[in-house]
Amino acid sequence: MQEYDYVIVGAGSAGCVLANRLSANPHTRVCLLEAGGGDKSPLLHVPAGWAATFKNKKFDWSYETEPEAELNNRRIYWPRGKGLGGSSAINGMIYIRGVPLDFAAWEQAGAKGWSWEEVLPYFIKAERQQTHVNESHGADGPLYVQDVVDKRPIQETFLDAMEEQGIPRTADFNGVDQAGCGHYQFTQKNGRRWSTSSAYLKPARGRSNLEVRVKVQTKRIIFEQNKAVGVETDRAGRSETIRARHVILSCGAIGSPQLLELSGVGDADRLSALGIQVHHHLPDVGEHLQDHLLCKVVYGTRADLSINREVSGARLIPAALKWFFARKGPLTTGSAPIGAFWYTRDGLEAPDIQVHFASGATLYNNAGKIRAMAQPAMSAVVNQSRPESRGSIHITTSNHRDHPEIRANYLSTELDRRTMIDGMKLLLRVFESEALADSITSRLSPAEEKGNLSDDALLDYIREEAGTVYHPTSTCSIGKVVDENLLVKGLEGLSVVDASVMPYVVSGNTNAATIMVAEKNADFLTAHVK
């Protein structure tokens, strides 16, 4: 039996931050447990490698939702990172923080101390910004935030098209105002993915007071009366107990509620029905799930403008060599190099939609793997920034290896449906702009034969085509499951620190906000939990 000051379960975006910050004090003994493996594979470092991690059981939990009522009862595939770095090792690397309005809403939901003014110092602390030098950005943190390496003329053309539709250019989505169109920045260092494993864990690995164990899945939390005193783990079928003075769950928006429920913390009736002994009745565990839903449009283009042919077949070889020797070329871009935040209606305090554009287009093949389309094409997706729809994640068996049941309840409110329709209309207008006229050959999806789509037809298309932007949050939300210091309500010695604690999903991609949550809570833990 071993004893630590902290055991952190999950080495993802949040877990790696905590492992670094908590073990900075050489007298503090920290154990970091990760169900997945290490991060040696080049797929986790070459930015475009992320596509190959999907549905690969080594790197991806490969969840899927239950049939979604508003999406024609389709199950939506949800990739989630498994291994050091967690989802930050397989994500699209886009660096977005959200807007002050998000954090004002957090505060109203009970997250005292999480206003924009109070979280900004932690975004800054984490950041090593390449380009923007001002009081909103940090230059000395471990998280490299860099400009797109593979800039192409078609990106400028698409930005011109967005300007033509009234969306002004912005140099920085994370500056004073999020609104506008422009290049994203990536969590990359010189063309290489910069996961939290690279940023936070690697520099701390040599510390003798930090133990990192991979391929160890935590089965349950061990309690003595009201206090968490350790965890029980499964390593290749062998059970082990690890004791600690404080237990931190950083398993993400799916894994953290799952582990609480497996440990008897959740809705008493639900757990009893599964034969799980109820330790603490906390009915909000797994509730209030939020996610961003996206819908895609695809246009055919000239072969020289699409990235597709550069990343398919034998052409991958020169692209790989370019990456290997120069850290340049198409493989430096995992997801969307450019995008926008804009409004679907007047009177909003902050943009309500986000756009991602790529000068290529992908398909899922039958095995669910992503591959570039054979024909030259480009694509863009739109998503609503602050959806109202909320779902849930709950276990359905007491076996820790079984995936929990995910119900996103996408598009379950009128506002969410309206915003997606209006977002799609804007996107289609952008593609039909003068600026893009010479670059486009045909509309591939929605199919050109469908002509101008009515609102109803667009909603039908969304129901059939929409998918996730991979941003689940809020299943162990502040004010409901944890308090403002991220301590689980009604219990001692137990925290949840990851994307699950966000009371609302932020307006944008969620990795930066998750890292901020962990940076801020590390300060609380080191000051108050000794």
**Counting Cβ atoms within 10 Å, is residue 231 exposed (0-12), middle (13-18) or buried (19+)?**
buried
Three-state SS at 460? helix
| Minimum CB distance to ligand FAD smaller for 300 or for 508 | 508
| Minimum CB distance to ligand FAD smaller for 435 or for 518 | 518
Residue with the two structure tokens 């246009």: 299
| Minimum CB distance to ligand FAD smaller for 294 or for 428 | 294
**Shortest Cβ distance from residue 78 to ligand FAD (Å)?**
8
Q: How far is the CA of 260 from the CAs of 362, 465, 521, in angstroms?
A: 37, 33, 19
Residues in Cβ contact with 487 at an 8 Å cutoff, skipping those fewer than 6 apart: 494, 495
Residue 149 has phi, psi (to 5 degrees) of: -85, -45
**Shortest Cβ distance from residue 174 to ligand FAD (Å)?**
11
**Shortest Cβ distance from residue 63 to ligand FAD (Å)?**
10
Beta bridge partners, 293, equal 468
| Minimum CB distance to ligand FAD smaller for 461 or for 470 | 470
Q: Cβ–Cβ contacts within 10 Å for residue 455, how many? A: 13
Q: Please give the helix or strand (H or E) that residue 158 lies within, else none.
A: helix 153-164
DSSP letter (8 states) at residue 278: P
| Minimum CB distance to ligand FAD smaller for 356 or for 463 | 356
Tell me the DSSP string of 6-63: EEEE--SHHHHHHHHHHTTSTTS-EEEE-SS--S-SGGGTSGGGHHHHTT-TTTB--E
**Shortest Cβ distance from residue 241 to ligand FAD (Å)?**
14
Find the catalytic residue in 183, 292, 356, 471.
471
**Shortest Cβ distance from residue 195 to ligand FAD (Å)?**
9
Tokens of 235: 């390593």
Q: Is the peptide bond before 446 cis (omega within 30 degrees of 0)?
A: yes
| Minimum CB distance to ligand FAD smaller for 487 or for 506 | 506
**Shortest Cβ distance from residue 357 to ligand FAD (Å)?**
13
Nearest 10 degrees: CA dihedral of 127, 21, 472, 478?
-110
Residues that bind ligand FAD (CB under 6 A): 9-15, 33-36, 79-83, 86-88, 90-94, 96, 217-218, 250-253, 255, 259, 335, 470-471, 498-499, 509-512, 514
Strand runs labelled E in 302-461:
338-342, 353-358, 362-364, 370-372, 377-384, 392-394, 405-407, 440-445
471 belongs to the catalytic site:
yes
**Shortest Cβ distance from residue 231 to ligand FAD (Å)?**
8
| Minimum CB distance to ligand FAD smaller for 94 or for 307 | 94
**Counting Cβ atoms within 10 Å, is residue 176 exposed (0-12), middle (13-18) or buried (19+)?**
exposed
Beta bridge partners, 211, equal 31
CB 403 within 8 A of CB 61: yes
CB 231 within 8 A of CB 400: no
Q: Please give the helix or strand (H or E) that residue 518 lies within, else none.
A: helix 511-528
Beta bridge partners, 212, equal 32
**Shortest Cβ distance from residue 334 to ligand FAD (Å)?**
7
Q: Which of 386, 333, 376 is nearest to 152 (CA)?
A: 333
| Minimum CB distance to ligand FAD smaller for 253 or for 408 | 253
**Shortest Cβ distance from residue 433 to ligand FAD (Å)?**
26
Residue with the two structure tokens 């239950």: 66
CA angle at 479 for the pair 476 and 485, rounded to the nearest 5°: 85
DSSP letter (8 states) at residue 277: P
What is the number of the residue whose Cβ is closest to ligand FAD? 12
| Minimum CB distance to ligand FAD smaller for 319 or for 469 | 469
Rounded distance between C-alpha atoms, residue 8 and residue 10, angstroms: 6
What residues are annotated to the active site? 471
